[in-house]
Amino acid sequence: MMWIQNNKTGHVWCVSEEHGSRLLKNEDFILFDEPKSDLNDLTVPELKKLAKERGLNNYSGLKQEELIKLLSGE
């Protein structure tokens, strides 16, 4: 799995290596490398904001640990 960011929209999401390789051939997408340890430093509201920015769904009722797993692609 890898993180990809759309340069036009700013959305970031986790995709398979195969899908990511195809997306990276398009100049609108870049590899987004996010250290997982940084997520542990964020509060629940900050994690929810990040989930919203990434276009993720069904995160509103999640606890901190669950949000971190969702955001890290686990």
Same domain, 19 and 41: no
Q: Tell me the pTM.
A: 0.53
Instruction: Give the CA-trace dihedral at 5, 41, 46, 1, to 10 degrees.
Output: 30
User: What integer pLDDT is reported at residue 22 of this predicted model?
Assistant: 93
> What is the full per-residue pLDDT of the chain (74 aa) written as tens digits?
788 899 888 888 888 889 989 999 999 999 987 655 578 888 999 899 888 888 888 999 999 999 999 988 76
Q: Which of 9, 53, 7, 12 is nearest to 26 (CA)?
A: 7
What pLDDT is stored for residue 37 in this prediction?
Answer: 55
* Same domain flag for 12 and 39: no
How many domains does one find in the chain?
Answer: 2
Instruction: Give Cβ neighbours of residue 59 (< 8 Å, ≥ 6 apart).
Output: 48, 51, 52, 67, 70
Same structural domain for residues 2 and 26?
yes
